[in-house]
Amino acid sequence: MLNVSIYRYNPEVDDEPYMQDFQFDTEGKDIMVLDVLEKLKIKDPTLVFRRSCREGVCGSDGVNISGKNGLACITPLSEAVKGNKLVIRPLPGLPVIRDLVIDMSQFYAQYEKIQPYMINNSPAPAIERLQSPEERAKLDGLYECILCACCSTACPSFWWNPDKFIGPAGLLQAYRFLADSRDTATKERLANLDDPFSVFRCHGIMNCVQVCPKGLNPTKAIGHIRNMLIRSAT
Amino acid sequence: MVTTVTSFGRSGLSNWIVQRVSAFVMTAYLIFIVGYFVLNTDLSYQQWAGLHSGLPMRIFSLLTILSVAAHAWIGMWCVLTDYITVRTIGPKATAIRIFFQLGMIAMILLYLMWAIDILWGI
């Protein structure tokens, strides 16, 4: 039997959060952490968590699994269980609404700040704005982000200043538009990032890279933004 | 864009560059001084005073002191804005943070002027 310890907090009932222990029979199978949560929810319907696609695409079920942020749906028990124990907590650093569900408003506010959409005020061509294969290739490793918040909530700089530091997820997307040959607002985008917090609160500890369930590298993107700022300001 | 007024430079990029350049200067000075001690094991006061009375050495020392001042300002400002915030310790944080920031800046300027006085007093 696997020991599963889950963070529980219902602000309408509980004075403070607590860890609840469950015994879980894996039947010898290496199932995903989300499967464990689903089966435990049948036992205890008051357990609350987010999930949707259950295949690592929607980014809903980001949780802290045995100390490391990740998507419950694509994290197998063989990776998550340490010493026959599985510990599941909400993503750290953001307010908990209930159990494993966090309030992501601050995360989305930072995402909104970087203007995550194409800006190009030149008249639209008849069919589409074309890119060369080389220009398109620059977006690889950037557009795949699913905004699960695993990276930003693993970043101490984001824990301390979630209202001022954009965070790795937002900065990866900032670079996604800075690197896009069809976007014409590069100068304005860079001007909005050149303060001591938005980009430069990143100290390169690379927790974001370690936890990204899509294998992306926000630290590298932040380095590119910094280089663009250096090129434009010196 | 986040506005900051107690930071060393107003731009994040200028802070970043100052932090790297000052680190380089401090490292160069450290290597020089340690190397000097290693090569001069029986160092006399006259020799040590002589080293520091020349203009090139004074400029090198002054550059290092300016680097320490800027580096400490940027670094301490980062630490203070990380940990002494309304988010971490409550509504009194702003007043406490400003107190420590201004105290830190005053101390750095004091040490800087003191160091210049010592350097040109040799």
Contacts of residue A194 in chain B, CB cutoff 8 Å? Answer: 1, 11-13
Contacts of residue A162 in chain B, CB cutoff 8 Å? Answer: 87
Q: Where are the beta strands (DSSP E) in chain A?
A: 2-8, 18-24, 62-65, 68-71, 85-89, 96-98, 101-102
From the list A162, A192, A229, which residue is nearest B1 (CB)?
A192
Domain containing B109 equals 4-120
Amino acid B85 reads: T
Task: Render each residue's pLDDT in chain B as its tens digit; 122 residues.
Answer: 788 888 888 789 999 999 999 999 999 999 999 999 999 999 999 999 999 999 999 999 999 999 999 999 999 999 999 999 998 899 999 999 999 999 999 999 999 999 999 998 87
Residue B121: the pLDDT is: 85
Q: What would the DSSP string read from start to end of B43-56? A: --HHHHHHHHHSHH
Residue A28 three-state SS: coil
Taking CA atoms, what residue in B is nearest to A228?
B13
- Domain total for chain B? 1
CA-CA distance, B118 to B86, in Å (whole number)? 40
The answer to whether the beta carbons of residues B100 and B46 sit under 8 Å apart is: no
Amino acid A220 reads: K
CB contact (8 A) between residue A230 and residue B17? yes
> Which CATH number covers residue B116?
1.20.1300.10
Contacts of residue B3 in chain A, CB cutoff 8 Å? Answer: 195
Residue B122: the pLDDT is: 73
Per-residue model confidence as pLDDT tens digits over A144-165: 999 999 999 999 999 999 999 9
Taking CA atoms, what residue in A is nearest to B13?
A194
The dihedral of CA A25, A28, A33, A34: what is its sign?
negative
Q: Which residues of B touch A (CB under 8 A)?
A: 1-4, 7, 9-13, 15-17, 77-78, 81-83, 85, 87-88
ipTM of the complex: 0.85
**Site from B2, B11, B74 to mutate, A interface, most A CB atoms within 10 angstroms:** B2
From the list A157, A162, A195, which residue is nearest B12 (CB)?
A195
